[in-house]
Amino acid sequence: MHNCTVRFYYVLDRLGLSINNELTSSVKESEVRVRTEAKREAILDTAAQVFMELGYGRTSMSEIAARLGGSKATLYSYFPSKEQLFFEVVQFKVGAEVGPAFQELPSLVQEDPRALLTRLGERLLAAITAPEAIAVRRMVIAEALKSDIGRQFWTHGPQQVLDSVAAYLAGATQAGRLEVKNPPAAAQHVLALFGSEIDWRWTFGVQNTFTRAQLKQAVARAVDVIMAAYGPRRGA
């Protein structure tokens, strides 16, 4: 009986030790993830500053590492190339604001299209007219004829947005919410209309900041045109 009792408490002790080890390991892994993500964000913040200051072509991984106060080896362990780092900066500074909204768009075909497009347009314009977003787009435009960065930017950003909008328009048409015969072309119309009152102004430096009221009014007028062109024909 004594031996059984000893073995019982021994098992409990080992079990408790195992649980404690697992908890300790889990806590340590969580701490590592937090530190890794914090380091990653610090790299992206610094890289964004360097890209905007020097432009894509003149920016080097060595310069970014020097600004960070670390080694290039550490920088490359997070981002294997300048190109990938640049696209991560774009996603971090711009895409995070609008990416989720467009990704979920095709699943929202049953919502009122006017309200949905208004919400989407306001969110899009708020993101792309932020100073950092304007700086990124100008940088890509300036670099586009010198390298493949423009094509890559298109593939990782605008093309994905267009695909999501086209999928939404096709789904909304099937649901009877809209009448769109050519969703890919209509997606370009929608996005062009959203930016129609602001794009040239920031492109040529005529206006670099926009008030919330200006953006809301621009989106409202754009949605009026979109619904006039693609809204359901009542009584037809």
Contacts of 142 (CB under 8 A, 6+ apart): 55, 56
| Category of 59 on φ-ψ map: left (φ > 0), alpha (ψ -120 to 50) or beta | beta
Domain architecture of the chain: domains with CATH = 2-76 (1.10.10.60), 82-230 (1.10.357.10)
Distance, in Å, from the CA atom of 229 to the CA atom of 179, rounded to the nearest integer, reads: 8
Residue-wise pLDDT for 150-172, tens only, equals 888 888 788 999 999 999 999 99
pTM for the full predicted model = 0.76
Residue-wise pLDDT for 66-83, tens only, equals 999 988 999 999 999 998
